[in-house]
């Protein structure tokens, strides 16, 4: 079985805990350490029979869980300093000590160690 690997440049929080990249107009994020990680893994297993691999948001889709069978990208990231923002296409991410907020039009996602929410 062949695995498609694409080298993509992305952003990370200064701690390196949250990493994101844009691909085909959508933002894909993962978090290494989060208090809610086990619950999201169970939710993806029950809903799709797949692993939890983070979050997605785009200008046309609200922030949501990303359940997939495996990562299709090797992401090299540049840290986004706290208090700074970076834009990629229609998506803007702002890094803060409290977490990462990314918006695309009226949709967005907030990710931190303690919680997440999508709109």
Residue 1 lies in a domain: no
Residue 48 lies in a domain: yes
Residue 86 lies in a domain: yes
| Per-residue pLDDT at 50 | 83
Number of domains in the chain: 1
Q: Other C-beta atoms within 10 Å of 2: how many?
A: 4
The token pair that represents 14 in the structure block: 């200064």
List per-block mean pLDDT (blocks of 10 residues) for the chain, which spans 119 residues.
56 95 91 92 87 90 86 76 95 97 97 97
Give residue 50's domain range. 8-118
Decide the pairing of beta strands 6-12 and 18-23: antiparallel
Residue 106 lies in a domain: yes
Residue 2 lies in a domain: no
| Per-residue pLDDT at 28 | 93
| Per-residue pLDDT at 80 | 97
């Amino acid at each position: 079985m062949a695995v498609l690997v694409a080298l993509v440049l992305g952003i990370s929080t200064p701690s390196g805990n949250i990493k994101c990249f844009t691909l085909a107009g959508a933002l894909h994020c993962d978090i290494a350490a989060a208090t809610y990680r086990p619950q999201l893994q169970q939710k993806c297993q029950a809903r799709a029979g797949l692993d939890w691999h983070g979050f997605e948001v785009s200008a046309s889709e609200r922030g949501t869980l990303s359940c997939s069978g495996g990562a299709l990208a090797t992401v090299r990231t540049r840290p986004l300093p706290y208090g700074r923002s970076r834009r990629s296409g229609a998506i803007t991410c702002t890094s803060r000590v409290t977490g990462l907020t990314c918006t695309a039009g009226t949709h967005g996602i907030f990710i931190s160690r303690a919680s997440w929410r999508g709109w």
